[in-house]
Structure 1
Amino acid sequence: MELRSVEELMDLLYACRHQHALRTAALLRRSRPADKELQVAGLVHDIGQLLCPGDETARAQRAADAVRPLLGERVYRLVRRHGSAADDDLLRLRLADEESRGAGFDAGVLEDWRTVLELVAERHSRLGAVD
């Protein structure tokens, strides 16, 4: 499955119903407010659970493949490798992922992230048009 629009991605995220994803993205927004791609990676990193339930090993790759056409290479790489800590961005994502599992704060609602998703998708489509 490849996501081609923010609307498709929002539908998938609504189906996931994960407060964990919202908290992960919110933690990343606090630590790196200007890094929208990192925040978005935190928001979408667990969609593989819905795309291939039961297949633990394929989840990250399936999620990364799904968001790549819409959100670009950096988000793809972060989602695909979010369990490892090979560089600073991956480490931040992994730590936010772990922290959000135990955090009990209100991270808002998914609709709050629509504009950020649109911004990252638009930036990717503009960059892709130049290549």
Structure 2
Amino acid sequence: MDGGAVYGVVAAVFIAQYNGITLSFGDFFIICLTAFLTSIGTASIPGSDLAMLMLVIRAIGLPVRGASLLLTINWLMDRCGITVNVASDCLMVGVVSRFTNLPPRDPSETQFDPVQEEERMIADNRV
């Protein structure tokens, strides 16, 4: 849920700037920490970032005014968050693969020819 955490921080900073509020380092730290923790517990469904966002902006007492602007582009931002999630998952698979130094699996264990598999299944049913 990396995309949700990034969206929570960026959206909270946007709402603060929209309302003319200057954030201190402590406010920014609380926003980052709250976005990180809520992204862990947020469901992986489209649109769940809005509920998380409300928790993040209320954590430091930001007004909700300006959140309706984010609602209009939430569909696009949700797709960008999914892209970040997929990219980070792929990166972690690459890192784990690189540092575990495991040999590649035998392709015959995981990949099969569909025609041969179908013929085997038909032969098993005849017997």
Common fold by TM > 0.5: no
Q: TM-score normalized by structure 1?
A: 0.29
Q: TM-score normalized by structure 2?
A: 0.29
